[in-house]
Amino acid sequence: MRVEERVRELLNRMTLAEKIGQMCQVTGGTEEHKDLVRQGRVGSILNVSESEAPDRARVSNDFQAAAVKESRLGVPLIIGRDVIHGFRTVMPIPLGQAASFDMPLVEEAAAVAAREASACGINWTFAPMVDVARDPRWGRIAEGGGEDPLLTSRLGAAMVRGFQGPDPAHPERIAACAKHYVGYGAAEGGRDYNTTWIPEGLLRDVYLPSFKACVDAGALTLMSAFNDLNGIPATGNPWALRQVLKTEWGFGGFVVSDWASVEEMIPHGLCSDKPEAARAAVAAGVDMEMVSACFSEHLVQLVEAGRVPMELIDDAVGRILGVKFQLGLFDSPYTEEARSNVLLTDGHLDVAKRLATESCVLLKNDEALPLPGDMGSLAVIGPLADAPVDQLGCWTMDGRGEDTVTPLQALREALRGRCDVRHAPGLPDCRSTDTAGFAEARRVAGDCDAAVLFLGEDAGLSGEAHCRAFLDLPGAQEELVAALADVGRPVIAIVMTGRPLTLTGIVEHVNALLVAWHPGTMGGPALADLLLGVSSPSGKLPVSFPRTIGQVPVYYAHKNTGRPAPPGKEGVPVGTPLDPESFFSTYLDMHHSPLFPFGYGLSYGAASYSNLKLSGPALSMGETLEVAVTVTNDSAVAIEEVVQLYVRDPVASLTRPVKELKDFMRVPLAPGESRKVSFALGTEHLAFHNGDGQRIVEPGVFHVMVGGSSQDVLKAEFTVTD
C-alpha cells in the first residue's frame, strides 16, 4: 500500500483528539509524558533521555513501546534532538564547515551524525540551519553557512542528503529539519528573536533560496522561526508557510514551530491569547507545536467551534503521518540497542579531523608557518590551547570533553621525542582580565623557538541568545598578544570562534593568523597537522571579517550606491556640501572594506589565475556559457584551491549587487601544476526577482569574475540577448 493510502486509511480511524495529539510535541522523557503517549495525545518527543548509550536507546524504545503497543492506534513517535554539527563525534560548527567549501565532506559528516544519533533512538534532527546571516553580532551565525545564499544553499542541501540519505527509512538515517523559516538571520541589531523587515525581492533572492535548496534535496521537515517577518511572526505567517512553501514549492513534509514560538505570538502582539495563537499558527501552516501547549489545550475546542477548519487539521496530521511512514517508523519503530558501538569510531573521527582541517582559514602568514621541523622547543600559550569543551562550540548537547583532543595534547603527541612543548595559558579563561599569567607566558615564549597562541571565544559566547554588542577578543586576550609581540620569537595566533571577530587589534602583532572556528572533537590533531605542515590550509571565509563593529553589516554582495568609494579611499572629505569633492560612501575614521573579505584564505602555496576565457561573447535566453580559467600552483607545496565564480548585472530594472557568487570548485594542485577549471553559467543563474515577485532574466551586458576570493578576481564580460 502506498504511503498516501496508508495515511488516508489511518486518518479515517482517528478521533479529533488523536489527530491533534499528533500535532503536539513535548520535551523530556517523564512518566507523565509516557501516559500522554499512551492516550494518543503526543506525536513527538524531543530530548527524551540524557542518559548514555545504550541506555538512551532503551529509553527511546520504552517510549516507542508505549506509543506502538499501548495507544489505541499504535502510531509511533518521532523522536527529536538537536544534532547540529555532530552527535558524540563533534564536527566543526556549521560556519566552519561552510569554510571548507567541500560539500561532499559536509554530507559525509552529516551521515556520521545520523549514524550515531540513530543508534541512540533519535530519528529526527533540528538541522540544518540555513539562515543567511550578515551580522556577526548574532550568536546563531555559528550554526549556518554565513553571508552568501549559494554557499548556504549548498551547505544545507549537503546536510539534508547526509542526514536522510537516499532512503530515510534506513536505520542509520534520520529526518532533517531546515530552519529557521524565514529571515531569522536578518534580526535587527543582531539580537536574537528580533524583528526583521525584508522586502519580498530580497527575501526571494537572498533568504529563501537556501530553504528551497533543502526542499529540493528532500528535507522531510521545516521549522518556523521566532522572528517577526514584516509585521507577522514567522510562525503565524501564511504568505511564507502556505503560499511560498506549501503551494509554490509543493513541500510535502510538515512544519514544526520553534520552541514555544506559537505561544510567543502573544508577546509579539499578533495574538491576544493561547487559543488565538493556536488558530493563527494552524491557519498559517504550522503542523506541529514544539513544547508550548496551545494546540493540546485549545485546538479541539477551536475545531468544534468552527474557528479552525477540519481540513487544516487533516492536512497537518496527514503530513506528520506521511513523514513517519517515510521514516519507516510504522514498520520498524525500535532501535537496535547494540548499535551504540558506532559512537566515536575511527572512521567517524577521521571525518571529523578531515573536516576540521579543511575548515581552518589562514588569514596571514609572514613565513611563520608551517613551523620548522628543526625546532628544539615550542611555546603553546592561550586560554584555548587546552580547553576540550570550549573547542566543541555551541549546540553540542551530546559532545563530551573527555572525547576531545586539544591542540596542546595533539602537539605534544606529534612532537614527542623531538621537540620540547611548553605550556603557559597566560589567562585562566577567554573572558578573564587577570593578567597575572602574562609574565610566565612571556618567559616561556622567549625561551622557545616559536609561540603558538590559542585565542578566541569560549563555547558559551555564541549560539542561541548569545549575541554580542562588541566583536573584539573577550577579556584581556588582546593585551596578551601585545605582551608577546616583542619577545623576539615568531608568534602564531590560532583563533577559535563562533563568529567573525574584529581582529584589527592583533593582526599586526602576530606573524601568522589562522581562524579555526570551533573545530570539534578532532580539532587538536587537525591543527597540529596544519601547524607542522602535514596539511596545507585550504579553507576560505564564508563570511566577511569586519575591521570594527561600526562597519556591521559588512558583506561582499552589497549594492554599489550612487557614490561608490574608490579603492583605498578613506578619511575626511576635502569638499563641502556646496562643492562635494570626495563625498563618497565611506567612513571618516576607518576604511569601509572588511579586514578580510568573503572567500579569502591563504595556503602554504600560491595559486595564480590566468587565461580567463568565455565560450562566446553572447548567449540567448536558456543557453549556457562556458567560463574557463587556468589555475596554477606557483609553489613547491601541494595545495587545494577553492576557485570562485562571481557575476554582476551592472544595469537592471532593479539595482543589483556588485557581485554574486554563482559557483565554486575545490581544485587539488600538485607543486607547479596548472589546471583548466571550467564552469557552466546559464541564463538561469542571472535571474532575480522584480518588484512584482516574478523571477526574471533581463538582457544586457554582464560581468563575470573568477578568482580565489570575492576581491581578488579576473574579469570578463558577455551579453545576454532576447
Rounded mean pLDDT for each run of 10 residues along the chain, 722 residues in total: 93 98 96 96 95 88 97 98 98 98 98 97 98 98 98 98 98 98 98 97 98 98 98 98 98 98 98 98 98 98 98 98 98 90 96 98 98 96 98 97 98 97 98 98 98 98 97 98 96 98 97 98 98 98 98 97 83 81 88 95 97 97 97 97 98 97 98 98 97 94 98 97 92
Q: Which CATH number belongs to the domain containing residue 463 in this structure? A: 3.40.50.1700
Nine-digit cell at 625?
556559457
In a shared domain, residues 223 and 124 = yes
Same domain, 372 and 336: no
Q: Name the residue type at position 88.
A: R
Q: Coil, helix or strand for 334?
A: coil
Give residue 572's pLDDT: 73
Q: In the beta sheet, which residues pair with residue 381?
A: 424, 453
Is 540 inside a domain boundary? no
In a domain, 407, yes or no: yes
CATH of the domain at 625: 2.60.40.10
Q: Which residue has the cell 600552483?
A: 633
Element spanning 495, H or E: strand 491-496
**Which neighbouring-strand residues pair with 625?**
681
Q: Is the peptide bond before 215 cis (omega within 30 degrees of 0)?
A: no
Could you tell me if residue 156 is left (phi over 0), alpha (psi between -120 and 50 degrees) or otherwise beta?
Answer: alpha
Domain check: are 222 and 124 in the same one? Answer: yes
224 close to 193: Cβ distance less than 8 angstroms: no
**DSSP state at residue 298:** H
Q: Which residues pair with 660 in a beta bridge?
A: 647
Q: Do 176 and 307 sit in the same domain of this protein?
A: yes
End residue of a domain, out of 516, 531, 546 = 531
Residues 6+ apart with CB under 8 A from 651: 700, 701
Domain that holds residue 386: 360-531
**Residue 616 located in a structural domain:** yes
Decide if 582 is inside a domain.
no
10 Å CB burial of residue 565 (0-12, 13-18, 19+) is middle
707 by DSSP, 3-state: which? strand
Same domain, residue pair 273 and 384: no
pLDDT of residue 691: 87
Flag whether 576 is in a domain: no
pLDDT at res. 1: 73
Sign of CA dihedral 463, 466, 472, 476: negative
Q: How far apart are CA 672 and CA 674, in angstroms?
A: 7
Three cell numbers written together for 315: 492536512
CB atoms within 10 A of CB 657: 18
- Whether residues 308 and 375 share a domain: the answer is no
* Domain shared by 65 and 166, yes or no: yes
φ, ψ dihedrals at 352, nearest 5°: -60, -40
pLDDT at 574: 78
- H or E element: which one contains 675? strand 674-682
Cα-Cα end-to-end distance for the chain: 49
What integer pLDDT is reported at residue 527 of this predicted model?
98
**pLDDT, position 578:** 85
721 pairs with which residues across the strands?
620
With contact defined as beta carbons under 8 Å apart, do 236 and 271 qualify?
Answer: yes
Looking at residue 582, its pLDDT comes to 84
* Residue 331 buriedness (CB in 10 A; 0-12 / 13-18 / 19+): exposed
| Tally of structural domains, the chain | 3
Within a domain: 387: yes
The CATH number for 312's domain is 3.20.20.300
Specify whether 258 is catalytic.
Answer: yes
pLDDT value at residue 132: 98
Please indicate, yes or no, if residue 548 is contained in any of the structural domains. no
Do 375 and 257 share a domain, yes or no? no
Centroid of chain to Cα 410? 27
Residue 156's pLDDT is 98
Cβ burial, residue 682 (10 Å; 0-12/13-18/19+)? middle
In sequence order, which ranges of 87-197 are alpha helices (DSSP H)? 94-100, 103-118, 149-164
H helices present in 550-634, as ranges: none
Query: CA–CA separation, 217 vs 215, rounded Å?
Result: 5
Which residue, chain included where needed, has cell 584589527?
A: 504
Establish how many alpha carbons lie within 13 A of residue 559's alpha carbon, considering only the half-sphere containing its beta carbon: 9
Distance, in Å, from the CA atom of 555 to the CA atom of 135, rounded to the nearest integer, reads: 9
Sign of CA dihedral 247, 249, 255, 258: negative
Whether residues 365 and 480 share a domain: the answer is: yes
Looking up cell 528532500, which residue turns up? 218
- 512-515 and 491-496 strand pairing: parallel
- What is the spatial distance between Cα 129 and Cα 192, in angstroms, rounded to a whole number? 14
| Helices 310-326 and 294-304, axial angle in degrees (round to 10) | 130
* CA atoms of 346 and 291, how far apart (whole Å): 37
Domain boundary among 307, 340, 373: 340
Which of these is catalytic: 131, 258, 390, 649?
258
Distant-in-sequence, close-in-space partners of 579: CB < 8 Å, separation ≥ 6 = none
* pTM exceeds 0.95: yes
Residues 322, 386 within the same domain: no
Among 325, 539, 570, 527, smallest CA distance to 414 is for 527
Euclidean distance between CA atoms 134 and 281, whole angstroms: 28
Angle at which helices 438-447 and 477-484 cross, to 10°: 40
Residue 586 lies in a domain: no
Q: DSSP states of 8-24 as a string?
A: HHHHHH--HHHHHHHTE
Which residue among 340, 369, 388 closes a domain?
A: 340
* CA gap 654, 693 in Å, rounded: 12
Same domain, 72 and 12: yes
Residues 327 and 368 in one domain: no
Q: Are 250 and 266 in contact (CB under 8 A)?
A: no
- Determine phi and psi for 267, rounding to 5 degrees: -65, -25
